[in-house]
Amino acid sequence: MSAEADRTYRGKCVDCGSPLELYEVDFEKGRRIMQCTRCGLYHFYKKNFFGKWKLLRAGRVSDLWRKPK
């Protein structure tokens, strides 16, 4: 089996439409971070009440360090 077949977390980038790869997952908090394979955009997901993944936000690391206005 290849490593590609073992990945159960999939999605598409909201910016360019490329496939996402799993960057980090936290099962205790029900959160995961996925990164675009083409543009490097990070996608932050959280589990909702029904157990489905919901996209919270997408951004680059430098965008996330800025203070919100």
Report DSSP state, residue 45: E
CA neighbor of 32 nearest in space, from 5, 16, 11, 62: 11
**What is the amino acid identity at position 8?**
T
The residues spanned by each domain of the chain are: 7-63
Is the pLDDT at 1 greater than 50? The verdict is no
- Length of the chain in terms of residues written: 69
| pLDDT tens digits, 13-51 | 888 888 889 888 888 888 899 988 888 889 999 998 898
- Label residue 35 exposed, middle or buried (CB < 10 Å: 0-12, 13-18, 19+): middle
pTM for the structure as a whole: 0.72
> Per-residue pLDDT averaged across 1-12, rounded?
59
Cα(65)–Cα(17) distance, integer angstroms: 24
Higher-confidence residue of 1 and 67: namely 67
